[in-house]
Structure 1
């Protein structure tokens, strides 16, 4: 298995993780809509809200959930894309050439682990 195969698999993994996160976000949004609808129905039954107000309330809550916050409460600066550093083959030390394939495999494993941790963090948020 060559380096090209590893890069391709890493790319597919990234696409798969993004797709999975999107599916989970859609599921959570659906669950939120159901819970908010139940709350609105209870408020209508108690006479605290009209049916039209309940519909607007549910739509407003779902729209708020879909919007991404511009500033997170625990992170004062807006999130920025991670910077990627691209190294040329000339940048490597000559003595590291024999262990370069092993190092790149370990680096890709570390990146996969980082992506998995990021996915878990996104699920919690």
Structure 2
């Protein structure tokens, strides 16, 4: 089956190529971030808000944080903090809920009639 071997090789090379391209793009993005952070740090030094040591630490921290975020993207967002609660109702409970709607409507009618009677008594 020479066709299958070629297909496996092409799939492998495609995977390597995609990984290489992703690494290049990530490296370019990190370098761009580093240059922007350095410009910001230079401006803060010029204004006297930071000294050179603080600026270097600021840039390094930003780049380190960006690298960590690219390696571990939003793990906290993908995992729920608590398991989703599921309520399983028996047939009897479902019937009770279905039967409760007419009872609720009846109670509403009674409340409305009592409110109307109260308004009538207040007017007299």
Above 0.5 in TM-score? yes
Tell me the CA shift for residue 66 of structure 1.
Answer: 1.4
Q: TM-score, normalised by structure 1?
A: 0.56
Which residue does 1:34 correspond to in 2?
35
Question: CA RMSD, aligned part only?
Answer: 1.8
Divergent runs of 4+, >3 A: none
5+ long unaligned stretches in structure 2: 81-124
Which residue does 1:4 correspond to in 2?
5
Which has a greater percent of helix? Answer: 2
Question: Superposed, which structure 2 residues align to 1:19-58 within 5 Å?
Answer: 19-58=20-59
Bigger RCO of structures 1 and 2 (CA < 8 A, at least 6 apart): 1
Which residue does 1:75 correspond to in 2?
78
Provide the aligned length of Structure 1 versus Structure 2. Answer: 77
Alignment deviations for residues 38-83 of structure 1 (CA, whole Å, 9 cap, x no partner): 0101111111111110011011111111113375353127xxxxxx
5+ long unaligned stretches in structure 1: 78-125
